[in-house]
Amino acid sequence: TSVGRRQKSAGDEHAVAIPVVVDAGREQGVWEGMEFHPRPPEAGYETARVTRVFERSSEAEFHPVAHDSFRPRPGWRLTTRRD
């Protein structure tokens, strides 16, 4: 997983979007709109929603509620299971 720069969400001046690239794509069964969660949960309780899917990777965005304290890290493992 790689992490992009934090940016303002379109249409909401107070919302923040944090783009990430996930090392899984169409070949691994990822689809647009799919949700990923950090693993272990201590890494964060936010959800990344997939926005684009490629053969072996995908792009997703975190829209953290507590956006000042949430900082995804490169290399985080993500899962589709919400524990």
Q: How crowded is residue 35: how many other Cβ atoms within 10 Å of its Cβ?
A: 13
pTM over 0.85: no
Specify the pLDDT at position 3: 61
* pLDDT tens by residue, 11-38: 555 578 889 999 999 999 999 999 998 8
Report which secondary-structure segment, H or E, holds 52.
strand 48-53
